[in-house]
Amino acid sequence: MGALEAVILTIITASTPLLIAAIGELVAERSGVLNLGVEGMMAIGAVSGFGAALVTGSPGLGILAGIGAGAGLSLLFAFLTLTLAANQVATGLALTLLGLGLAGLIGEPLVGQPGVKLAPVVLGLDVLVFASFLLTAAVAYVLFRTRLGLVIRAVGTSHHSAHALGHGVIAVRYGCVMFGGACAGLAGAYLSLAYTPQWIETMTAGRGWIALALVVFASWRPWRVAIGAYLFGTVTILGFYVQASGIGIPSQFLSSLPYLVTIAALVALSGKGTFTRINTPACLGQSFVPDR
């Protein structure tokens, strides 16, 4: 394996979980729902995926379990915020705490167990890396080229208008939130099955929050989210390379660089205020109670 290949492979594995989680959250936010529980859903996805793969011996089933667990937890969020119209910010934060705690509880017997690794298929890349690209392409296509996407964006931009036109605002949002949960669960399963095949508590280490930030800084555009995720991964890994080559740049600075570079790049990309305004879902974070 050449040195450059190794670098590229490392960057791809570091970026993939961020991309998957962020794409899911993007869809939820496009429909007007701000789910701050990404970190918790990732943790649940990681522990469920790891546990299922360990018990069945099949990483494929592990992935499905991760997706299912993430979607399941997001269903709880959807019920609270959509059906009961609870505050989305508070509920999302609670979901993170619940997810992390629950994952620790479920995962107790799994600590210290070597897991089942998702084997690479082509060029040292596993199937989920390709899935993440397909996912991005599919989301970009559906959101901006199909009727369904139009409805989702309409629900996110003006829920009252969408409702008046006869679209089921709550139903659309349920679907989008659960899609986001499934993606977060998948991203978590990627961590515990492909990235570092093991389960330990808090192994998500803040990646859910980074994914959340990426969505905002990418102005809710799928390909920009992909650029952001890869930029973040690239700068993180290159920072390690710089350190390992013994060039005397302070490591604290290198650690903060991915955040700075990604934010700067994405802000520069969406430099025009109008662009961001057009893309921001106007109903983001607002509860919708149908009046008739």
Partner 1 sequence: MKKLLGGFLALAMGLAIAGASAEDKLKVGFIYVGPVGDHGWTYQHDQGRLALEQALGDKVTTTFIESVSEGPDAERAIERLARDGHGLIFTTSFGFMESTLKVAERFPEVKFEHATGYKQAPNVATYSARFYEGRYVIGQIAARTSKTGIAGYIASFPIPEVVSGINAFMLGAQSVNPEFKLKVVWVNSWYDPGKEADAAKVLIGQGADIITQHTDSSAPLQIAEAQGAHGFGQASDMIKFAPKAQLTSILDNWADYYVERTKAVLDGTWASGDVWGGMAAGMVRMATYTNLPEDVAKAAAETEARIKSGELLVFAGPIKKQDGSVAVEAGKSLPDPDILGMNWYVAGVDDTLPQ
Examine residue 248 and tell whether it contacts partner 1 (CB under 8 A). yes
Euclidean distance between CA atoms 133 and 111, whole angstroms: 31
Binding to partner 1 by residue 7, rule CB under 8 A?
yes
Residues 207 to 236 in contact with partner 1, rule: CB under 8 A: 207, 236
Cβ pair 73, 181 in contact under 8 A: yes
* Comparison of 142 and 200: residue with beta carbon closer to partner 1: 200
The reply to whether 196 sits near partner 1 by the rule CB under 8 A is yes
Q: Which residue is associated with the tokens 């011996």?
A: 57
Among 111, 134, 260, 289, binds partner 1 (CB under 8 A): 111
Binding flag, residue 245, partner 1 (CB under 8 A): yes
The first and second tokens of residue 280, run together, are 């921001």
C-alpha torsion sign, points 139, 184, 73, 83:
negative
| 113 versus 286: smaller Cβ distance to partner 1 | 113
**What CA–CA distances, in Å, run from 135 to 19, 109, 195, 219?**
9, 33, 19, 18
Q: What is the smallest separation between the CB atom of 50 and partner 1, expressed in angstroms?
A: 12
Listed in order, strand segments (DSSP E) in the chain are none
Contacts of 72 (CB under 8 A, 6+ apart): 44, 181
- Minimum CB distance to partner 1 smaller for 111 or for 278: 111
- Cα angle 79, 83, 89; round to 5: 65
* Selected binder of partner 1 within 146, 148, 251, 260 (CB under 8 A): 251
Stretch that binds partner 1, among 4-12, 49-57, 86-94, 264-272 (CB under 8 A): 4-12
Both tokens of residue 121? 């298929």
Query: Percentage helix, strand, coil, to 5, in the chain?
Result: 75, 0, 25
Element (H, E) at 15: helix 3-30
Rounded to the nearest whole angstrom, what is the least distance from the CB of residue 86 to partner 1 in the complex?
26
Q: Which residue of 45, 107, 185, 281 would you call a contact of partner 1, by CB under 8 A? A: 107
Written as six digits, the tokens of 27 are: 């869809």
Which part of the chain contacts partner 1 (CB under 8 A), choosing from 108-116, 130-138, 139-147, 272-280? 108-116
Taking the mean position of all CA atoms in its chain, how far away is CA 53? 21
Closest approach of Cβ 89 to partner 1, in Å? Answer: 22
Nearer to partner 1, 42 or 172 (CB): 42
Judged by CB under 8 A, the number of residues near partner 1 is 39
- Does residue 17 interact with partner 1 by CB under 8 A? yes
Shortest reach from residue 250's CB to partner 1, in Å: 5
* Closest residue by Cα to residue 209 from 81, 42, 14: 42
Q: Which is nearer to partner 1, 6 or 137 (CB)?
A: 6
Exposure of 279 by Cβ count < 10 A (0-12 exposed, 13-18 middle, 19+ buried)?
middle
Tell me which residues touch partner 1 (CB under 8 A).
Answer: 3, 6-7, 9-10, 13-14, 17, 104, 107-108, 111-114, 191, 195-198, 200-203, 205, 207, 236-237, 240-241, 243-246, 248, 250-252, 255
